[in-house]
Structure 1
Amino acid sequence: MFEERAALRAAVRGLLGGQIAADGMWARLCKEIGVAGLTVPEEYGGSGATLGEAAVVLEELGRVLSPAPMLGTVLAVHVLLESGDEETRARLLPAICSGERIVTAVWAGCVFPADTVLVVRDGTLSEIEGGIEITDSLDLTRPTGRLRSEDGSAPGLRDVACAALAAEQLGTAERALELTVAYVQERHQFGRPIGSFQVLQHRLAEAYVRVQAARSASEAAVQAVADGSADAPLLAAAAKITCSETLRAVAAEMVQMHGGIAITWEHDAHRFLRRAWATAQMYGSPESHVARLTPTLLSSPD
């Protein structure tokens, strides 16, 4: 499994080529690698893989702040497979796998622009074509919208959403740290690289520890959700909290250590910061998840 995921990561990273927020990649990702159908059963034209493989792709897309609709696709596939609606599955899943149709599932009102939006109300699956109100977004690399009529959910959808988004946030944080480490070794001040200053080394070391903790939280959540573990709700929320806070902290350090250049439109640092703050609010802010989990954790005998 490790070798297969490593090969998948290499293929996606090679195709993306390190291009920040590059448009037009979705069709190639679907056609050449089959990313849209990773979690779709083989009978519908997919790979029959798990959320673990999808998380690898989400990490790589997060590294380049890609606007590709992988996150929404993962949620849509989950909703379709959980719905038991065979007619809708047979009609939508093959089109999703090929990339011909972009489908997402809405939760908590936030939705990515798509051809079709899936909503589950009282166990009934509904399809909404269009009608998405595109909203102003802090993250200029990925437009989002709101469906005012949305009031439904699906079993486990929140856990899938939080775990999947955490994987994407992890990739973004890792890349932000890599770019910052490279920059402080190149930029000189007082005759030496600024990365040689102890205060910056300490801050970068703290950022590294944060990223490693975020990876542990993300991988635990993805595995728990994929396995249907009883701990999935707790681990998914913990991953969302940890990865959101890590990305915000690392992106802030990226801006600080890049100095004045980081606040210009010509540099990508502000894009990482925007993505950090925008994703932190998706599927519930870190603060809201802490408030939601606090009663459970306080009452736990452990």
Structure 2
Amino acid sequence: MITTAEQEELRRTVRALLERNPPARPAPDADPGYDETVWRLLAEQVGAFGLAVPEACGGAGGTALETHVVCEELGRTLTPVPYLGSAVLATEALLVCGAAEPLPGLADGSRVAAVAWAENGTWDPAAIRAHVEDGRLTGVKEHVLDGARADLFVVPARTRDGGLAVYLAEPSTPAVRVEPLATLDLTRPQARVTFDAAPVRLIGADGHRVLERLLAVAATAISAEQLGGGERCLEMTLDHVKTREQFGRPIGSFQAVRHRLADLYVLVESARSVSYDAAHALASGAPDLAVRAATAQAYCAEAFSAVAAETVQLHGGIGFTWEHEAHLYFKRAHSAAKLFGDAAWHRARLGPLVLGG
């Protein structure tokens, strides 16, 4: 991992803010929601939502490495704010399409945009069936991050000739129906969005190019969250085994436990390497970005899932109760592993990507 002094200062600032304002944990029967206080503080005090937005549009004009740092810190704390969906994915989509008008509102955190992309449980562009006829969009989009709070939807859809293009849609019309979803991960709201001949505006004629870029950005950003979550799980587990006693001694003194912890450490540090490798590729415009991003998501998804599972196991009975946070990380790990394509799908992509097919 190579970061600048400014990026490390950003990390310290975000971490300190999150430590001072720990997110309220959801109750068993709660619906996924947002931490409005942290959302406001990240926007007003840190400018986190505008890191990727050009200065001319009210942002900081940063790189993918700055947003990567923030994603990692939010993943450590499972803080529910519309960052990945709005500040990363939707912002990138608007930038790639050259649609600058909504960016100032996204940069200051006052507005939320959502990319309505997945259909039939997959983010594969080939699966998209939503279509536009005469400026009207019809179709159903699933797993829309921050969809219930979105002021604007960025939607890839089929054109009349079967190609892919990217459109903007406003939710404030009866032709757009937003349904919040009950999800495994209560710290990340999702929605199903139905478009019934909804009026849209074309912003990107080459939808394949836009989605190729978005997939790399999504894979890279979620790997940062997975890294942060895995790192926090390891820290919690280390703290626990130092104080939890069995047979009159801390369980962390047993060789078998030490071996398991060493394996977790290797998983977390390896995840750090591949995640930041993808972030550097994204920031530098590397030609093999797609390969490095797919590798990062495939590895980090499985690493986080393994670390979270061991965290529950090594915490014993308390690990799977609502009194401890371990179960929240376990649920985030398994939910995030499915976002933007699972590890098997990304590994399957690597062959054609490496071979140039």
Residues 21 and 219 of structure 1: CA distance in aligned 2, closer, same or farther (over 3 Å) = farther
The answer to whether the 8 A contact 1:21-1:141 is kept is: no
- In the TM superposition, residue 147 of structure 1 has moved relative to its aligned partner by 3.2
Query: The residue matched to 2:153 in structure 1 has which SS?
Result: strand
CA distance in 1, matches of 2:114, 2:238: 36
Q: Equivalent residue for 1:145?
A: 191
Kept in 2: contact 1:36–1:99 (CA 8 A): yes
Contact 1:187 1:193 in 2 (8 A): yes
Distance across 1 between alignment mates of 2:292 and 2:193: 28
Which residue of 1 is the match for residue 51 of structure 2? 38
Residue segments in structure 2 that go unaligned for 5+ positions in a row:
26-34, 119-141, 158-163, 197-206
User: 2:167 matched to which residue of 1?
Assistant: 125
Structure 1 consecutive aligned stretches of length 4 or more whose deviation exceeds 4 Å: none
- Cα separation, partners in 2 of 1:78 and 1:296, compared to 1, 3 Å: closer
Q: Which has the larger radius of gyration?
A: 2
1:162 & 1:107 partners in 2: Cα distance?
14
Q: SS at the partner of 1:185?
A: helix
Aligned counterpart for 1:233 among listed residues 267, 270, 290: 290
Structure (1 or 2) with the greater strand fraction? 2
> What is the root-mean-square deviation in Å for CA atoms of aligned residues?
1.9
In 1, the alpha carbon distance for the partners of 2:103 and 2:352 equals 39
What is the match of residue 166 of structure 1? 223
Name the % identity: 45
Distance across 2 between alignment mates of 1:157 and 1:128: 21
* Deviation at residue 133 of structure 1 after TM alignment: 2.4
Q: More displaced, 121-130 or 172-181?
A: 121-130
Aligned residues: 294
Among 103, 107, 131, the residue aligned to 1:97: 107
User: What are the superposed Cα offsets for residues 215-251 of structure 1, whole Å, 9 maximum, x if unpaired?
Assistant: 0110011111222211111111110011100100000
SS across alignment from 2:337: helix
Name whichever of 99-108 and 37-46 sits farther off. Answer: 99-108
Question: Aligned equivalents of 2:19 and 2:249: distance in 1?
Answer: 31
Distance 1:217 1:168 in 2: 13
Partner of 1:125: helix, strand, or coil?
A: strand
Secondary structure of 1:132's aligned partner: strand
TM-score, scaled relative to structure 1: 0.92
Contact residue 83 and residue 123 of structure 1 kept, 8 A? no
Long gaps (5+) in structure 1: none
Which is helix-richer, 1 or 2? 1
Please state if 1:180 is matched with 2:193.
no
Contact 2:154 2:166 in 1 (8 A): no
CA distance in 2, matches of 1:17, 1:210: 25
Q: Does 1:68 align with 2:70?
A: no
User: Residue type of the partner of 1:110?
Assistant: H
Moved more, 94-103 or 278-287: 94-103
Query: How far is 1:97 from its partner?
Result: 1.3
Aligned to 2:6: 4
Is residue 159–residue 233 contact of structure 1 (8 Å, CA) maintained in 2?
A: yes
Per the TM alignment, residue 69 of structure 1 is displaced from its structure 2 partner at its CA by 1.1
Shift of 1:260: 0.4
Question: So what's the TM-score if we normalise by structure 2?
Answer: 0.78
Deviations 1:143-198 (A, max 9, x none): 21233559x66240100011011111110110011010111001111111100001
User: Which of 45, 63, 66 matches 1:53?
Assistant: 66
1:112 aligns with 2:112: no
| Structure 2 contact 291–353 (Cα < 8 Å) conserved | no
More displaced 10-residue stretch of structure 1: 20-29 or 49-58? 20-29
Q: Within the alignment, does 1:199 sit opposite 2:256 as a pair? A: yes
* Pair 1:245-2:302 in alignment: yes
